[in-house]
Structure 1
Amino acid sequence: MRAIILSAILATVSPGWVLAHTLPTPQAVDAEVRQAMTRTGARGLAIAVINDGKVAYVQAYGVRNAQGEPLTVDTVMYGASLTKTVFGYLVMQQVDKGKMALDTSIADYLPQPLPAYHTPDIVNRYADWSALDERWRKLTPRILLNHGSGFSNFGFLEPDEKLKFHFDPGTRYAYSGDGLITLQFVMETGLSVDVGQAADAVFLKLGMKRTSLIWRADFATNLADGWDENGKVEPHDERSKVRAAGSMDTTISDFSKFAAAYVRGDGLTPAGRAELVRPQLPITTRSQFPSLQAELPVDQRRKDLAAGLGVVVFDGPQGRGFMKGGHNDTTANTWVCIEKSKRCVVILSNDVRSEKAFAGLVTLVLGDTGVPYDWEYGFTPVQ
């Protein structure tokens, strides 16, 4: 285990800067995490704190498997939908290089119309395009990244297990992992950008030695299995394909480096970095899931909540912030940042039961942020 003491970072704060919230001591973080794990029954959790764009604290708690081996800051954990933040960053790098434009139709990047591709991945994912008219041509990188595609989350959730348009692209928000996977296909097929290799280049530059968008055999030496809502342990899934929607394996030590670089804007132009966390598309539903739920009446919609590019943007007591979660039956992750102070908290957990404690942990570290937990989870977690 290792911890980087917060007090040393606090000493670097510029004179006259008014902190919205006093950062807790490492001891206070440790105590709150252990209490949260006791309350929820969670077996493993890792946390990182970023202050002023620098990694200030990294720690892991509990165990990584049923054998009771300890979860450490270098244990490989499933990143789940935090992968989407990395993918958004990779797309913006292509935009900064002039290889892609956010508002150009994907039709302009593909050598053939999308319906003409007959690889198993495409044929099995999409519905009969003749029933979809030409709306696929309205899809742009921006629309696919801000979840305005019109698709369900994944095609396999459809009655016939194939994607179809539920609304005109760009007209509303509905979370869609397959929307991002469509953009990945466009990048790899139309621009010859290998998304996995592009991610590896970023990870190498940032010193993220145990992170990848595809399974690596060396991860097995220190790997986290997961616990579900009923306390049943499940083995780590060795993902054999790069999937922009959620194939990343990472460690809390590694992802804290990405979070710090992201909030600083490393590797991007100032304009590109700003675009990632700019409100792109209003979010008009009561909760994030189910993704295709009806929109709220206009007078009930939140004005402080919108989609960015691979993240969700919110406004709160400390100003603009952004967040992204990651979840499956045995995984619970969250990443929350406040733009003005460049402060973030990252939580990775290999036990989905820990999710109920996230609000309290984020509030301990960042104070009152305005994070829309009720929208994110469909319930208000214990503070």
Structure 2
Amino acid sequence: MRSGKILAGRMLAATLLVMTLGNTAADPQFAPLEATVRAAMAKTGARGLAIAVVERGRPVFIRSYGARNAAGAPLDHDTIMYGASITKAVFAYTVMQLVDEGKIDLDRPLATYLAKPLPDYGNLDAYGNWGDLAGDDRWQRITARMVLTHSTGFANFSFLEPDGKLKFHFDPGTRYGYSGEGMMMLQFVIEQGLGLDLGAEMQRRVFDRFGMTNTSLIWRADFARNLADGWKVDGSVEPHDERSRVRAAGSMDTTIDDIAKFAAGFMRGEGVSAARWAEMIGPHLPITTRSQFPSLQPEAPTTERVVGLAAGLSVITFNGPQGPGFFKGGHNDSTANMWVCLKRSARCVIILSNDVRAEREFPTLVRAALGETGMPWGWEYGLPVK
């Protein structure tokens, strides 16, 4: 009972802190960061951006800038923004809780959790084209660890294939190749094999735990009151998508307040054992490509790889002048998000932008928030490796 009261007290304190930070003037300590944000928006033409800094498991700075829609309504700390692929890291945090509970083994083939062979389920619009895998038994080897390290051998999504069919491009577990399709396979196993509702599990295990009251994997009608549309590279407006399906690969809507709560709770290690937390942000599989995208590019010569870059479990780990770190990005035509953390100092920065043009200045913003991290921007965005 006492531990429950302590946890509840901590959650209340964290919530009140975030509310305070979101509604008061910026701390003078962060004035240089604010100036950098404004300069970055002016330089890129980005219309909206929100940023949070977390130090040792607590948000210390949360601010939003610009507009949430073409009418000029202000983007604020409670504005609903698209989480994009940061969803994958939140999903992985949920999976690690299932691992702690013995419901999933990271290295047990996912096929063994299902009542029948994966291809026999056919092509399911809500999940994936499993029927396409008939005749190639490599699906039997895929594990949760392979999914979370993006080493299933699948393309990002089968609809990106020239023929639209799901197929293997390399043996599972042998190399990194970013794949949302793999995430959907793990979601399928959790829901069809374990009989769990992933949306409900993530709501209970993550969103409710950290007081993320404005976060969901599917559209909520109350989101319409304060919703961010997006801006594309050409400056055109993209209406916010009202996502009606839970998708582990990237259906999360959130706010800068809420994602800061997640990042803070994550850095405190709440909800998972110390062993699972360390496993999630540790290096599992060296990354051997020049950049993250295109996802199925050839492996680069050793001299052209980023030294120390590796796949964690739905995050990417790296080494830099401040020691090891990890990050997870999120992107679509009108969204640019980034979460970067340093392990030794337990400091993080989270950026959500409803204007993809802001992405060009993310290296500058992260440097202003955390100092020089060694973050591999060249690999992440396909820039020349330095």
TM-score where L is the length of structure 1:
0.92
Matched, 1:297 2:301: yes
Matched, 1:271 2:275: yes
Give the alignment of 1:119-158 within 5 angstroms: 120-121=124-125, 125-126=129-130, 128-132=132-136, 134-158=137-161
- Match in the other structure for 2:4: none
2:121 to 117, 121, 126: 117
- Match in the other structure for 1:10: none
Matched, 1:2 2:23: yes
Deviations 1:81-106 (Å, cap 9, x if unpaired)?
Answer: 00000011011000000111000001
How far did residue 118 of structure 1 move? Answer: 3.2
1:26 to 25, 30, 37: 30
Task: Please report the RMSD computed on the Cα atoms of aligned residues, expressed in angstroms.
Answer: 1.6
- Match in the other structure for 1:306: 310
- Match in the other structure for 1:247: 251
Change (3 A) 1:131 1:368: same
Q: What is the number of residues matched between the two proteins?
A: 363
In structure 2, what is the Cα distance between the partners aligned to 1:79 and 1:364?
Answer: 22
Gaps (5+ residues) in structure 1? 8-24
Matched, 1:84 2:88: yes
In structure 2, what is the Cα distance between the partners aligned to 1:148 and 1:127?
Answer: 20
Indicate conservation of the 8 Å contact 2:316/2:328, yes or no.
yes
How far did residue 26 of structure 1 move? Answer: 2.3
- Match in the other structure for 1:179: 182
In structure 2, what is the Cα distance between the partners aligned to 1:123 and 1:42?
Answer: 34
How far did residue 2 of structure 1 move? Answer: 2.6
Where 1:45 maps in the other structure, the secondary structure is strand
In structure 2, what is the Cα distance between the partners aligned to 1:124 and 1:336?
Answer: 30
Indicate conservation of the 8 Å contact 2:114/2:193, yes or no.
yes
Give the alignment of 1:1-383 within 5 angstroms: 2-3=23-24, 25-118=29-122, 120-121=124-125, 125-126=129-130, 128-132=132-136, 134-201=137-204, 202-379=206-383
How far did residue 380 of structure 1 move? Answer: 6.3
In structure 2, what is the Cα distance between the partners aligned to 1:276 and 1:3?
Answer: 34
In structure 2, what is the Cα distance between the partners aligned to 1:123 and 1:361?
Answer: 36
Change (3 A) 1:6 1:340: farther
In structure 2, what is the Cα distance between the partners aligned to 1:276 and 1:155?
Answer: 27
In structure 2, what is the Cα distance between the partners aligned to 1:365 and 1:114?
Answer: 45
Indicate conservation of the 8 Å contact 1:3/1:58, yes or no.
no
Gaps (5+ residues) in structure 2? 1-21
